[in-house]
Amino acid sequence: MKIVRTVCAHDCPDMCSLLAHVENGRVVKIEGDPDQPLTAGFACGKVNRDVDLVHSPERLTTPLRRVGKKGEGKFAPIGWDEALDEIASRFKAIIAKSGPLALLGYAYSAHQGLTNRGLPGGMFHALGASRLIAGTVCDSCCETAWEMTAGGVGGADPEAVVDSELVIAWGADLMAVNVHYWALVEAQRKRGLKVVVIDPRRSRTAQKADWHIPIRIGTDAALALGMMHILVRDKKVDRDYIARHTLGFDKVEAEVLPRFTPARTAEITGLSVADVERLAAMYGATKRVMIRVGEGMTRLAQGGQAGRAVCLLPGVTGSYGVRGGGALLLTAASCDLNYNAIRKPSGPTNTRTVNHLRLGEALLDMKAPRIEGLFIAANNPAVTNPEVHKTRQGLAREDLFTVVHDPFMTMTARYADIVLPATTYLETDDMFRAYGAYWMQYGPRAVDPQGQARSNVQVAQALAQRMGLADPVFRMTPSELLTELFKGATGKPGTVDTRTLPSAGPINIAPTTEGQIFKTPSGRLEFYSEQLAKQGGPPMPDWTPDPEEVRDAERWPLRLLTAPGYFQAHTAFSGVAFLRKREGEPICVLHPEDATRRGLKHGDKVKLFNQRGTVGLVLKVSDEVRPGVVLVPGQRPDAEAVSGTVNMLCSDRYTDMGEGATYQSTFLDVAAWS
Ligand code: SF4
């Protein structure tokens, strides 16, 4: 038995340090590394089962060529050389006929480290292909909102919660998506730390909190502005901090805050005036309040405004200057590595772009040239994209040559012409940096690739060489890629000797400076954003009813709330039978009043429907959601549901900032399945 000290690559803010127990070439046990303070010796309930992920009987073991219709899932095994030669020759033929813009590399992040995540995109960048604006299904809206507010810096250090007096989990179900931060928070409650959860749903975290505030979906900006109104009224504002570290508060105070009286805030948010007052009083009573900002509140039409308003709150009280205070959305921006060496080794400065969430539109409507060749890696857009029917319609095009590289036969892979078996993170060497904590770590492979699986780096390099690309990164060893990644790094990562990385274990990269640094154009926290004004966006935080949402709400009586499943946080976990079972069958949750009104009862098969489509799920009746809300946890593939997948109901409209997805701006109805 050997124990390999590695890193959890699942798309999760904690980035745990793991110990993989290996016997006879098989992972037999995974546990959290006790020597990494945040991991603190435990892995979550999903990753405890990663033995089943690596050795799942559902893993793809060989390259496959399609022999049935697109989407049908009929394939025959082929060899790697045959597959790679065919892909390269098809891509070359497409470039010769229509130019490189007819190719699209659609590689994303799922569940792997920095070089495996970056190099497939780097190959398409070097080819001058149509360029993916990645991450818009996920965090582009909240990232942009933060960037426009605080600049390219990380948020509060989660481990500083030992100095907090209050934690506000704002739209963040910590027990589902940030379990190690939650464990730290729980430990601090013994010394009196209070926990408030602001969430439309009474999540498990909300059930354990000191106070759950069941806010109406899409009104977070109004609540934050209402709190600011009260803080100003009650003279809980740190004028000295505002003068030294912020920009434009005077304009917000004069032009925006007067409209957010407690009464109006209560009316918008669906809360009582007393609760709005109480929350503002709690917030104003100490600077040591850490707001853990969830991303879900930004996945709707005015998500950027929500993210900005919430992240500006600590600027009103001067909480950003204090350890244990501030706001934590992401930490990744603080880790300044040479990502471009991997992601953009060469290629034209500008090409045509394709937004991640609008793959369907790109495949169906883009012309001069049409997309004729598509390479999808670490991504399952046939389930995770909004307007998923459009995505599938595009993938079904007979004149589209599609390659999918994935460990499992996903819904997307079923549409491929060639499917390539991918390694999981426990079969690759790579570098990892957390995006919700201040840690980085090298993660060596625990076992050899299963079957004939190959990593993204291997596939990108093999294809790049066949495509005639001469950039050195396509010939580098993993350790040379690592050296490249750290060239010119600043801050603590800049002090790292890459030769020692494989044995260095977890490296803490928390900034050592006192207080929060802002990297906006003004160097201050920007209540007023000139950048947003120049882009034609709203320069100041505000809340106004969104006209499309108002129109849809008049047509449909219910609003969709999506949230990560506890055991199916991503579709990548759907390859693990045990976790599928733990999560249970795909459900939707309705308040008892809404269920009764429709003559529905717990356990019924129901259809969720709107102008975009119909999805079949099993009904759970519970008051964990308010009347008027339908909660759907997880993005479960069709095969597990009664019918379809939830994103069939969601529009591919953009958010107000960052061109992100607006899943939570979906309105619908529910009826008995027929
Ligand atoms: S909590 Fe997150 S980082 Fe830790 S083991 Fe689970 S998925 Fe991985």
**CA 130 – CA 594 distance, rounded (Å):** 46
10 lines ligand 1 (CB under 6 A): yes
CA distance 300 to 310: 15
Cβ neighbour number for residue 23 with a 10 Å cutoff: 11
Protein residue with least CA distance to atom 4, ligand 1: 16
Q: 3-class DSSP state for residue 62?
A: coil
Which position has the higher pLDDT, 137 or 593?
593
Q: Is 470 exposed, middle or buried (0-12, 13-18, 19+ CB in 10 A)?
A: exposed
What confidence category does residue 637 fall into, taking pLDDT thresholds of 50, 70 and 90? confident
HEC sequence for 491-544 = CHHHHCCHHHHHHHCCEECCCCCCCCCCECCCCCEECCCHHHHHCCCCCCCCCC
User: 402-406, 407-411, 635-639 — which is least confidently predicted?
Assistant: 635-639
Mean pLDDT of 521-538: 96
Does residue 47 have its Cβ closer than 6 Å to ligand 1?
yes
Ligand 1 geometric centre to CA of 143 (Å): 21
How high is the pLDDT of residue 155? 94
- Local confidence band at 45 (pLDDT 50, 70, 90 cut-offs): confident
Distance 58 CA to ligand 1 centre (A): 22
Q: Quick check: CB of 43 below 6 Å from ligand 1? A: yes
pLDDT given at position 241: 97
pLDDT value at residue 333: 85
Report the amino acid identity of residue 43.
Answer: A
Task: Please state the atom number of ligand 1 nearest to the C-alpha of residue 179.
Answer: 1
Answer yes or no: is pLDDT of 313 > 80.
yes
Place 617 in a pLDDT band, splitting at 50, 70 and 90. Answer: very high
The residue assigned the tokens 């079904």 is 396
Give per-residue pLDDT as tens, 563-598.
888 888 778 788 888 888 888 899 999 999 999 999
- pLDDT exceeding 70 applies to what percent of the chain? 100
User: What spacing in Å lies between the alpha carbon of 229 and ligand 1's midpoint?
Assistant: 38
C-alpha 376/C-alpha 111 separation (Å) is: 14
Residue nearest to atom 2 of ligand 1 (CA): 12
Decide: residue 205, CB within 10 A, 0-12 exposed, 13-18 middle, 19+ buried.
Answer: buried
Entry field: residues in the chain: 674
Amino acid found at 628: G
Phi, psi of 664 (to 5 degrees): -85, 5
Q: How far is the CA of 448 from the centre of ligand 1 (A)?
A: 22
- The CB-side HSE value for 452 (13 A sphere, CA atoms) comes to 15
How confident is residue 336, by pLDDT bands cut at 50, 70 and 90?
Answer: confident
Please tell me the distance from the alpha carbon of residue 205 to that of residue 201, in angstroms, as a whole number. Answer: 10
Other beta carbons within 10 angstroms of residue 534's beta carbon come to: 9
Q: What is the DSSP string of 190-222?
A: TTT-EEEEE-SB--HHHHHSSEEE-PPTT-HHH
pLDDT in tens, 234-283: 999 999 999 999 999 999 999 999 999 999 999 999 999 999 999 999 99
Res 112: pLDDT: 83
Q: How confident is the model at residue 110 (pLDDT cuts 50, 70, 90)?
A: low
Averaged confidence pLDDT in the chain: 95
In this predicted structure, what is the pLDDT of residue 249?
Answer: 98
Pocket of ligand 1, candidates 173, 180, 182: which has the most ligand atoms within 8 Å of its Cβ, to mutate? 180
Does residue 179 surpass a pLDDT of 90? yes
Cα of 181 vs centre of ligand 1, distance in Å, is 11
C-beta atoms surrounding 261 within 10 Å? 16
Mean pLDDT of 401-420: 97
Ligand 1 pocket, 14 CB below 6 A? yes
Ligand 1 center to residue 382 CA distance, Å? 25
> Is 179 close to ligand 1, i.e. is its CB under 6 Å away?
yes
Q: Distance from the CA of 38 to the center of ligand 1, in angstroms?
A: 11
How far is residue 223's CA from residue 267's CA, in Å, rounded to a whole number?
10
- Å from CA of 15 to ligand 1 middle: 6
**Which domains can be identified in the chain, with CATH numbers?**
2-54 (3.30.200.210), 64-137+335-508 (3.40.50.740), 141-329 (3.40.228.10), 547-672 (2.40.40.20)
Whether the CB of 546 sits within 6 Å of ligand 1? no
Residue 229: closest CA among 276, 197, 271: 276
**Cα torsion at 218, 326, 328, 260 (round to 10°)?**
10
Q: Which atom of ligand 1 is nearest to the CA of 44?
A: 6
**By alpha-carbon position, which residue is closest to atom 6 of ligand 1?**
44
Burial of 272 (0-12, 13-18, 19+ CB in 10 A): exposed
pLDDT tens per residue, range 430-484: 999 999 999 999 999 999 999 999 999 999 999 999 999 999 999 999 889 999 9
DSSP one-letter string for 324-346 = T-SEES--GGG----HHHHH-SS
Q: For residues 648 and 49, what is the distance between their CA atoms, to the nearest angstrom? A: 30
How far does residue 489's CA lie from ligand 1's centre (Å)?
Answer: 26
pLDDT tens digits along 197-232: 999 999 999 999 999 999 999 999 999 999 999 999
With a 6 A CB cut-off, is 8 part of the ligand 1 pocket? yes
Phi then psi for residue 95, to 5 deg, are: -65, -45
Calpha distance 635→617 (Å, rounded): 12
Closest Cα to atom 5 of ligand 1: 43
- Identify the residue whose C-alpha is closest to ligand 1 atom 8: 8
- Mutation probe of ligand 1 site: the residue of 42, 46, 178 with most atoms within 8 A of C-beta: 46
Is the minimum distance from the CB of 15 to ligand 1 under 6 angstroms?
yes
Predicted local distance difference test score (pLDDT) of residue 447: 97
Which atom from ligand 1 is nearest to the alpha carbon of 46?
6
Residue 437 Cα to ligand 1 midpoint, Å, equals 12
Q: Is 189 helix (H, G, I), strand (E, B) or coil?
A: helix
Tell the residue nearest (CA) to atom 1 of ligand 1.
44
Rounded to the nearest angstrom, the distance between the alpha carbon of 14 and the centre of ligand 1 is 6
pLDDT in tens, 281-296: 999 999 999 999 999 9
Confidence of residue 363 (pLDDT cuts 50, 70, 90): very high
Please tell me the predicted confidence (pLDDT) of residue 567. 83
State if residue 426 touches ligand 1 by the CB under 6 angstroms criterion: no
Beta strands in 79-156, from DSSP E residues, in sequence order: 103-107, 131-133
Q: Which ligand 1 atom minimizes the distance to the CA of 180?
A: 1
| Placement of tokens 């993204």 in the chain | 456
Q: Is the pLDDT of residue 111 over 80?
A: no
Q: Above 70 in pLDDT, residue 31?
A: yes
Cβ–ligand 1 contact at 183 (below 6 Å):
no
Q: Which of 555, 560, 569, 571 has the alpha carbon at shortest distance from 666?
A: 560
Of the candidate ranges 117-121, 408-412, 515-519, 669-673, the one whose mean pLDDT is the lowest = 515-519
Mean pLDDT of 58-66: 97
Is the minimum distance from the CB of 111 to ligand 1 under 6 angstroms?
no
Q: How far apart are CA 337 and CA 442, in angstroms?
A: 14
Residue 554 tokens, joined: 């008049």
Query: 597 by DSSP, 3-state: which?
Result: helix
CA of 566 to the centre of ligand 1 (A): 12
Pocket-testing residue among 11, 17, 44, ligand 1, by greatest number of atoms within 8 A of Cβ: 44
Q: How far is the CA of 11 from the centre of ligand 1 (A)?
A: 8
| 44 CB near ligand 1 (under 6 Å) | yes
Phi and psi for 96 in degrees, rounded to 5? -60, -40
Q: Can you tell me which atom of ligand 1 is nearest the CA of 8?
A: 8
CA 563 – CA 173 distance, rounded (Å) = 9
CA of 7 to the centre of ligand 1 (A): 9
Least confident of 106-115, 156-165, 338-347: 106-115
**12 ligand 1 Cβ < 6 A:** yes
What's the CA gap between 275 and 264, in Å, rounded?
13
How far apart are the CA of 42 and the centre of ligand 1, in A? 9
C-alpha 245/C-alpha 319 separation (Å) is: 11
Give the least confident one: 9-18, 300-309, 425-434, 507-516: 507-516
